[in-house]
Amino acid sequence: MTAPRPADYLALAFTYFAVGVTVSVAMIERGISIPTTLGAALVIYSATSELAFLAVRDAGGSAAIGVLSGWLVASRFGLLALSLGARYQAPTLERAAAAINSFDPNVGLAVQQADRSELRRVFWRVTAALMIGWWIGSLVGVFLGDVIGDGRAWGLDAVFPATLMAIIGALVRRRDGLTAAVVGAGICCLLIPVAPGGLPILASALGAVVAVLTFTRGPAGRSGPGPVTEDRA
């Protein structure tokens, strides 16, 4: 896959700016203090974790259960870090930093790169775009939320899922990617009505991995579509 263009990085930065605004406004509206909201933006930078926390609070749950729900939702980032696997060749400290900063967009775009050095460059460039957009958006949401009003009225809540679909578009055109998407979505839809918040996402990710390993393995022990070509330098 061709590396993202400058316009793509700008689009990602705007996406996370919009998400940062929306989440921060939602936190403030629900009585979360400004220091806590800013702290969460700086050290968690996970919209899904913060929204899981708010969902538990809105349902009458305790703050402790809300935090645990956020951790459960964020557990998918560990799976994303593992997906970089051996292709991410770098010093130990850099690999540790990459593991901490593994999110849906940067991992999704990085793993589609055939060249390992390009994989690293794309990963960190996307990470920078996400972080800058998220932090600025969070600040705007906290201090200008009253001016902006409800982010949903501006359609900001639709920006993130739309961009994520664009990111995974190339992956679902492959047999293994389509298998993972269909199985993962099916598991998630089945569990949402009955499972605790966050568990459907985790279960769907694990189920998608199992499905890919089971259904796309050829007779010689290799996956049907074949892996992305890697450089051997």
Neighbours of 85 (CB within 10 A): 8
The runs of H, that is alpha helices, within 85-158 are 92-100, 104-110, 116-148
Question: What pLDDT score does 229 carry?
Answer: 39
Last residue of a domain, one of 124, 150, 170: 170
Based on its alpha-carbon atoms, the radius of gyration of the chain, rounded to whole angstroms, reads 18
Residue 70 near residue 46 (C-beta atoms within 8 A): yes
Residue 197 near residue 52 (C-beta atoms within 8 A): yes
Is residue 46 domain-shared with residue 153, that is, in the same domain? Answer: yes
Question: What pLDDT score does 79 carry?
Answer: 77
Nearest to 202 by CA among 80, 51, 55: 80
Backbone angles phi, psi at 227, to 5 degrees: -75, 165
Last residue of a domain, one of 117, 136, 170: 170
Is residue 50 domain-shared with residue 108, that is, in the same domain? Answer: yes
Is residue 192 domain-shared with residue 215, that is, in the same domain? Answer: yes
Is residue 101 domain-shared with residue 185, that is, in the same domain? Answer: no
Is residue 62 domain-shared with residue 94, that is, in the same domain? Answer: yes
The count of structural domains within the chain is 2
In a domain, 1, yes or no: no
pTM of the predicted model as reported, rounded to 2 decimal places: 0.67
Question: What pLDDT score does 225 carry?
Answer: 43
Is residue 112 domain-shared with residue 207, that is, in the same domain? Answer: no
Is residue 21 domain-shared with residue 62, that is, in the same domain? Answer: yes
Question: What pLDDT score does 195 carry?
Answer: 77
Range of the domain at 115: 6-170
Question: What pLDDT score does 139 carry?
Answer: 92
- The rounded average pLDDT for each run of 10 residues, N- to C-terminus, in the chain (233 residues) is 83 88 84 87 81 78 78 79 83 91 88 89 94 92 71 55 59 75 86 74 74 61 42 36
